[in-house]
Amino acid sequence: MAEQTQQTSVKEPWAGNLPCCHGPKDGCAAHNWNRVPIFWNPSLPSSVKPVTDNFFKSFLSKKDAKQGQPEPKPTFVLSLPQTPSTQEPLPLIHGSVPYTLSFYHLHAITTSPSPATLLPFITCHGVTNSHSLKWQITPLLTPTRDLLLAHTYTLPISLPFGAAATLSDTSNYSYQKIPLLSPVHNIYSFRACPHMTRHLRTLRLKVAKGVASIRIEYALKNIVLGQEFRDEWRSDEGRQPLDMACGMCHTDLGMVFEEDVKQGEVRVTVKVWKDLGGSAAGGEKWEAARGGEAVKREREDFGRVRRAYEELLGGTAVVDRETDVDEVAGGNEPAVGKRLVLEESQEVVDDGQHVADGMQPPPAYTP
């Protein structure tokens, strides 16, 4: 009887989709920029519509498609059980970037005898033309076969004036305040993990005597507790936002502002680093990343994922860089005002100027 049960539990191999593929002619700029037929398994769960970055390119590719093309072959062929835990993808970080990585991708790569041949198929990039959002997701494998992912999103924030004309008039004075956060179009919102969201709230612009002063209020929301930590980037100060770390999954988060008045914009780059663990089904890193049972991440681990990724990427340790690291959920105490100097691994107490007046640090997570 036990032998019969074992035989009936054996599953036929099944095929998975690429993380950027959500339709029969879908895919990112790296894998299907000209929208030709690509392998797609419609039985797999997906709440994402096929990418249509360029309508005219998509239309022309359909018109010029050759007849009699060979049937596209799958890249990922699995013998895993077909269950929600193996097939459902991680939550999207940005609603305009349909990159959906599932456990079967993680399992296939970390158990492959030649994972380097599979990593390019989950390395994706593209541009969402509607918002000019440039994005790139790049994986790396650690020596212990844990999968690290680096997400990079670059999005311009248009300044509400003709920069050259306004700045050339030294007698001109103007002030504008523009909301960036919208309940309808959350293009300035990035859900780094199931536990925290980074979003931009308002843009303030003052022009006086030909000099522009730009302020952008941003926030980090603790989704678990429903609380926010707010701060402000100022063009005349040059101070960049704190790097953050989630205390409930292995996710690190960074953000950088770059002013370009001549182009009439401020470019914001959001970076998310994730440690998704290895091939073990139900591994704690993967479970926490998809919103399952959370981990209790210690303060010493904050920033580790980013450092590990950069060390693997460069082939050497990252030095001569000072980074503010803070937490949004998890940890025993607030961490605002402390820095990690990577070269010396020395903790230094700040003078407190990194916290704007009246703003509170992210709350510690208490179960």
> Where does a domain end: 122, 138, 168?
122
Residue 4 lies in a domain: no
What gap in Å lies between CA 308 and CA 312, rounded to an integer? 6
Residue 6 lies in a domain: no
Give the pLDDT confidence score for residue 5 in this predicted structure: 39
- Provide DSSP, 278-300: -S-TT-HHHHHHTTSSPP---GG
130 and 68 housed in the same domain: no
89 and 130 housed in the same domain: no
Residue 7 lies in a domain: no
111 and 130 housed in the same domain: no
DSSP 8-state secondary structure symbol assigned to residue 9: T
Give the pLDDT confidence score for residue 263 in this predicted structure: 82
pTM of the model: 0.79
Q: In a 10 Å sphere around its CB, with 0-12 CB exposed, 13-18 middle and 19+ buried, how is residue 63 labelled?
A: exposed
Give the pLDDT confidence score for residue 264 in this predicted structure: 84
47 and 163 housed in the same domain: no
220 and 114 housed in the same domain: no
Of 202, 209, 131, nearest in space to 160 by CA: 202
Please give the tally of structural domains in the chain. Answer: 2
Give the pLDDT confidence score for residue 171 in this predicted structure: 57
169 and 85 housed in the same domain: no
102 and 239 housed in the same domain: no
118 and 242 housed in the same domain: no
150 and 65 housed in the same domain: no
Give the pLDDT confidence score for residue 125 in this predicted structure: 96
192 and 330 housed in the same domain: yes
Range of the domain at 109: 12-122
- Of the chain, the end-to-end C-alpha distance in Å amounts to 45
Give the pLDDT confidence score for residue 315 in this predicted structure: 66
Tens digit of pLDDT per residue, the chain (367 long)?
444 434 334 468 999 999 999 999 999 999 998 889 999 999 998 767 765 545 555 455 455 444 556 678 889 999 899 899 999 999 999 988 989 999 999 999 999 999 999 999 999 999 987 778 999 999 999 999 999 999 999 999 988 765 444 554 555 677 888 899 877 678 899 999 999 999 999 999 887 777 778 999 999 999 888 889 999 999 988 889 989 999 999 999 999 999 987 788 899 999 999 999 998 766 899 999 999 889 999 989 999 999 999 999 886 433 333 334 455 444 433 333 222 222 222 232 233 333 333 333 343 333 2
The first and second tokens of residue 51, run together, are 């990418």
101 and 181 housed in the same domain: no
Q: In a 10 Å sphere around its CB, with 0-12 CB exposed, 13-18 middle and 19+ buried, how is residue 130 labelled?
A: exposed
